[in-house]
Structure 1
Amino acid sequence: MTQNAASNRVLVVDDDAMVVTGIRGILHAADDIEVVGSASSGEEALEKVALHFPDVVLMDIRMPGIGGIEAIERLVNSVRPPKVVALTSFDTDDYLLRALQAGAAGYLLKDIGPVALAEAIRKVHLGEPILSPRSMQQLISTVTTRQDQRLQREATALLADLTAKELEIAVLVAQGLSNQEIADAIYMSTATVKTHLNRINIKLDTSNRVHIAVIVERARVGNSRIIQSE
């Protein structure tokens, strides 16, 4: 999935120099990704973003001074905001939810493979939010366990506006399938899948796949027939 050379400008933020060196080495192999700089703190990240204007920032969560969460919030509310992806070793509900609430476009764990990391950067740059599979399931589980009947009724009402095909696609999104995997599963072109996803986002008033998945899972709690009856 190669784009124009150096079309993705990346800033790496981590207080561990070995991690930064490792990420630089991994991304150097991708001819469409350029690491334009690095930072070891939230304060330095803000300065480097203003200097280099990266497209994507890989942000560690726990750092001295301004931590990753606060840095994410400041960056996404800046004049020329980059897409920020939390890249961390901490797979906890608290960090995951706080990063997403701060405006992170993704949440990845540092054990991600080199190919997957490069692909995640490309997708985030194109506007597609990214979560590691473990984080996606964790997020859904956290949200559904905290929900109440009001949230379930609201989600059910939203899904009632979808056509049968749109609901089918929304369910597959909640299962973590990519556009290509959805297209293969329901014998449809990826372009048609994207068209349906656009309509789903409009009807559900959502902006990305994560929000679609949350609504589907909320409606399923205590009333799985809503999903299965279509």
Structure 2
Amino acid sequence: MRLLIADDHKLLRDTLGSFLAQQEDITTVTVGDITEAQRAIATCGPFDLVLLDYGMPGMEALDGLQSILSQENAPAVVLISGMAPHEVVERALRMGIRGFLHKSMPASSTLNALRFMALGERYVPVDFMMGQAERRDTETALALPPGMRALAQSLTPRETEVLQALCHGHTNKEIARALGLSEPTIKLHVKTLYRRLGVSNRTQAAMVARSQGLC
């Protein structure tokens, strides 16, 4: 099985590539952005699967994915991400990706999923597809005291997405890429969140959000 791993985080792609390369039947090529991925597909293919990071340079939300899928004899593409919204994954599936892998998945589960997809099957983590995370968040919010519920309800959907990304330690640049927005727009959202939460930095914002069950 030949795999192309496209991710701008060198540590992640090197770690994943090294793990997969230990399998006797797997060879990997790794690149850091969508342009390099397109070049590798043209010069180093064919690949059984192409793993594309949702937030890497050149993806521009799902535009980069579309550029790959629209190629003649397009390879089977797997979207990978640690923060892609549920609706984005659903849209990508409708566009024709083979599957989705969450970066929090155990290595063994990732390997099994890749083998499954290489056979031509589609794969999405069951918990993610069923929206269990969203339901748990909703149940937590309903169980919050009135003051906390008021704060949760005062945030716009976009502000909630940005706050959740802050909780996971993502930078403004990473959040902008993942949400398909400009970095100045994310900075504005972050400043607004500081004001609404009554904090002065990212760490405090994440602490308040976690204490109130918002992420």
For residue 58 of structure 1, report the CA deviation from its aligned partner. 1.0
Closer/same/farther in 2, CA of residues 40 and 79 from structure 1, 3 Å limit = same
Q: Which runs of 5+ in 2 are unaligned?
A: 136-215
Q: Report the secondary structure of 1:31's partner residue.
A: coil
The letter for the 1-side match of 2:80 is L
Q: TM-score, normalization: structure 1?
A: 0.53
Which residue is 2:36 aligned to?
Answer: 44
> Which whole-Å deviations, capped at 9, do the CAs of 1:90-137 have from their partners, x for residues lacking one?
142232123213321101101111121122111111110010122221
Query: Does the Cα contact within 8 Å between 2:6 and 2:32 map onto a contact in 1?
Result: yes
Q: Structure 2 length normalisation: TM-score? A: 0.57
Equivalent residue for 2:5? 12
Residues 67 and 55 (structure 1 numbering): CA distance in 2 closer, same or farther, change over 3 Å? farther
Q: Which residue number in structure 2 is paired with residue 66 of structure 1? A: 59
Q: Which structure is richer in relative contact order (CA contacts within 8 A, separation 6 or more)?
A: 2
Aligned ranges 1:1-230 → 2 under 5 Å: 8-35=1-28, 37-53=29-45, 54-67=47-60, 69-138=62-131
CA–CA separation in structure 2 for the residues paired with 1:137 and 1:72: 23
Shift of 1:68: 6.1
Question: Number of matched residues?
Answer: 133
Kept in 2, the 8 Å contact 1:59–1:68? The answer is no
Aligned mates of 1:131, 1:68 — CA distance in 2: 19
Aligned residue type for 2:103 = K
* Residues 58, 64 of structure 2: 8 Å contact kept: no
> Secondary structure at 2:5's aligned position in 1?
strand
Q: Is the 8 A contact 2:59 2:65 kept in 1?
A: no
Deviations 1:23-44 (A, max 9, x none): 1122022111110x22211122
Q: Is the 8 A contact 2:77 2:99 kept in 1?
A: yes
Aligned-partner Cα distance in 1 for 2:101–2:49: 13
Identity %: 25
Deviation of 1:19 (Å): 0.6
Q: The residue matched to 1:130 in structure 2 has which SS?
A: coil
Runs (5+) with no aligned partner, structure 1: 1-7, 143-230
Q: Is 2:54–2:84's contact at 8 Å kept on the other side of the alignment?
A: no
Asked whether the 8 Å contact 1:30–1:118 carries over to 2, the reply is no
SS in 2 for 1:131: coil
CA distance in 2 between partners of 1:101 and 1:60 (Å)? 17
1: CA distance between counterparts of 2:94 and 2:56? 19
